[in-house]
Amino acid sequence: MILNRPSLINFGSMGSSELGYISVAEGNKLFPFQIKRVYWTYFTPQNVIRGRHAHRRLEQIIFAISGVIDCETEMIDGQIVRFRLDEPNMGLFLPINCWHEMKFSHAAVLMCLASMEYDETDYIRDYSEFKKVRENEN
């Protein structure tokens, strides 16, 4: 599976309203990469914007395991797409060179499946540097 744009992936859910539900990320079914790291963020105040960076090589899939997460993405060609994550079975794939900013509802929990271990040198944290990537790619 090759994805080069931010896109929603439906992982499906098994169960019922009586029992509750399970969603599964398994092997490379539905998956554009091998998972090397899982992290999660929580207790994010509602007035905080997280993210505000892009990655040079890291690919990620983020989920709102609980609550609502609004994510604005911008690709190096300038295309901006906004996503609302409000279902635990829906993952948002973030490709390389994708600037993203996220806002969280009260008690929202974000889980991320990542293609690489943490590496600060992989981050582009300066928006003007991100825009230079765009110039270099065009």
Q: Does 118 bind ligand TYD (CB under 6 A)?
A: yes
Residue with the two structure tokens 């974000």:
110
Tokens of 27: 């092997």
Cβ atoms of residues 131 and 50 within 8 Å: no
For the chain, helix, strand, coil in percent to 5 are: 10, 45, 45
Q: Minimum distance between the CB of residue 73 and ligand TYD, rounded to whole angstroms?
A: 13
Q: Looking at 53, 55, 100, 106, which residue is catalytic?
A: 53
Task: Give whichever of 9 and 108 is closer to ligand TYD, judged by the CB atom.
Answer: 108
Q: Does 39 bind ligand TYD (CB under 6 A)?
A: yes
Task: Give whichever of 14 and 38 is closer to ligand TYD, judged by the CB atom.
Answer: 38
Which among 66, 112, 121 is positioned nearest to 92, based on CA atoms? 112
55 is a catalytic site residue: no
**Region of 4-12, 35-43, 55-63, 81-89 interacting with ligand TYD (CB under 6 A):** 35-43
Task: Give whichever of 21 and 42 is closer to ligand TYD, judged by the CB atom.
Answer: 42
Radius of gyration of the chain (CA): 15
Cβ atoms of residues 10 and 90 within 8 Å: yes
| Catalytic residue IDs | 53
Per CB under 6 A, residues contacting ligand TYD are 37, 39, 41, 50-51, 118
